[in-house]
């Protein structure tokens, strides 16, 4: 009986019905892909590629558009935070297409898939995301985009820490090394802040932006494992359609949170005057706002999609991995300084990223070897019996 049970456990792991918590997996019935089901395998590869692409566009375009808003005369932090999730209605289109597809198979299919438990979790996560949006926008209003991106890279360390606490993602020597390197990189930036702050800005404002951005990285490092935990505790089939629906709910409540902040800060009344005084012109002011919203929506959809398809920590890796692109574009677009402190911080961030990526690759390779060895032993035991 023990041999049969072990064989069944191995088959479940191999088919993806129950993914290891150590690998950051989610109990995900829709990931059941046997060797004979190549269509599902190709679909998963397509979804991974699509979400990595969306993450790439959002990770680079979002910070640059937000910084462009502040760089050219924008001063409303709540408005900038609002734009980070205001593009959530875009998700209604894929939700509707998914609904039509389900209706063809089942005429009684519901438009919404979330259970009350999942919906409540998304509301809470949405409010936390709204807080995180404000921390990021307020911090970015005081910092160069390149500095902000380097600080956001510390999110990988926070994500690893909170993933250990929330979803029992275990630490390895590689992940600990990555956390240490990213922390040192942030310290280097903090100790040499006077050489990095924009002209006309006080040390107080610079360090206010510095610590707000670090707080943003820490909070989002908590949000990502909480999203994965929601998948694990959902007690329902987690499909990509449900993931999109969850992001729509989170985006809606994050936007609502920021809209309330805008009302108290009187941002809605200030928008027309700010548009007239925008350095690029009134029309381009609204163009910047629209594209800011679109790029940030790419980021959030790509983020939850990567968590669904792979695991939480890959999201942190991608965010850190796109730092060099954001750094180069920030220097080109905004003529930002790139001194030795940023060069050292960037090198440490990339070193940390490489360390974690290699550790993840090494661990995955070891698990495959162990699974193959276990399968061989089980096969021999079953033959002997």
| For range 12-33, the mean pLDDT | 38
Give 242-301 pLDDT, tens digit per residue: 888 999 999 999 999 999 999 999 999 999 999 999 999 999 999 999 999 999 999 888
pLDDT of residue 179: 74
119: buried, middle or exposed (CB in 10 Å: 19+, 13-18, 0-12)? middle
pLDDT at 371 over 50: yes
Extract the tokens encoding 310.
């792979």
| For range 203-225, the mean pLDDT | 90
pLDDT at 113 over 50: yes
Helices (H), ranges, 143-281: 145-152, 155-166, 173-191, 203-233, 240-265, 267-276
Give 122-133 pLDDT, tens digit per residue: 999 999 999 999
Q: Evaluate whether 262 touches 81 at the Cβ level (below 8 Å).
A: no
pLDDT of residue 126: 96
150: buried, middle or exposed (CB in 10 Å: 19+, 13-18, 0-12)? buried
The residue count for the chain: 385
Other Cβ atoms within 10 Å of 209 Cβ, number = 24
| Confidence band of 49 (pLDDT split at 50, 70, 90) | confident
| For range 62-67, the mean pLDDT | 90
| For range 48-61, the mean pLDDT | 88
Other Cβ atoms within 10 Å of 106 Cβ, number = 8
Distance CA 95, CA 82 (A): 22
| For range 307-321, the mean pLDDT | 73
């Amino acid at each position: 009986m023990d041999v049969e049970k072990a064989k069944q456990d191995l088959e479940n792991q191999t088919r993806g019905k129950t993914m290891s918590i150590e690998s950051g997996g989610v109990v995900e019935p829709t990931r059941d892909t046997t060797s004979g089901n190549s269509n599902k395998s190709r679909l998963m590869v397509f979804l991974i590629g699509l979400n990595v692409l969306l993450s790439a566009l959002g990770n680079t375009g979002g910070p640059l558009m937000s910084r462009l808003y502040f760089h050219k005369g924008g001063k409303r932090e709540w408005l900038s935070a609002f734009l980070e999730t205001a593009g959530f209605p875009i998700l209604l289109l894929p939700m509707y297409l998914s609904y039509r597809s389900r209706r063809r198979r089942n005429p009684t299919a519901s438009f919404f898939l979330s259970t009350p438990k999942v919906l409540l979790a998304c509301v809470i996560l949405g409010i936390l995301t709204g807080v995180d949006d404000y921390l990021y926008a307020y911090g970015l209003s005081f910092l160069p985009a390149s500095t902000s991106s380097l600080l956001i890279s510390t999110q990988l360390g926070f994500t690893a820490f909170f993933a250990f606490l929330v979803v029992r993602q275990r630490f390895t020597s590689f992940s600990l090394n990555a956390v240490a390197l990213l922390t040192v990189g942030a310290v280097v930036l903090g100790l040499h802040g006077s050489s990095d702050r924009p002209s006309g800005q006080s040390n107080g404002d610079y360090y206010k932006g510095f610590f707000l951005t670090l707080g943003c990285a820490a909070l989002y490092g908590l949000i990502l494992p909480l999203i994965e935990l929601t998948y694990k505790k959902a007690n329902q089939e987690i499909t990509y359609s449900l993931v999109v629906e969850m992001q729509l709910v989170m985006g809606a409540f994050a936007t609502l949170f920021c809209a309330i902040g805008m009302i108290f800060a009187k941002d809605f009344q200030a928008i027309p005057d700010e548009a007239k005084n925008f350095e690029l012109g009134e029309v381009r002011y609204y163009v910047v706002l629209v594209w800011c919203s679109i790029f940030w929506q790419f980021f959030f959809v790509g983020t939850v999609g990567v968590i669904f398809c792979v695991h939480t920590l890959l999201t942190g890796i991608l965010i850190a991995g796109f730092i060099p692109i954001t750094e180069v574009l920030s220097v080109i677009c905004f003529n930002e300084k790139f001194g030795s402190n940023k060069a050292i911080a960037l090198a440490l961030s990339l070193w940390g990223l490489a360390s974690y990526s290699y550790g993840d690759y090494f661990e995955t390779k070891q698990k495959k070897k162990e699974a193959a060895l276990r399968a061989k032993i089980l096969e021999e035991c079953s033959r002997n019996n």
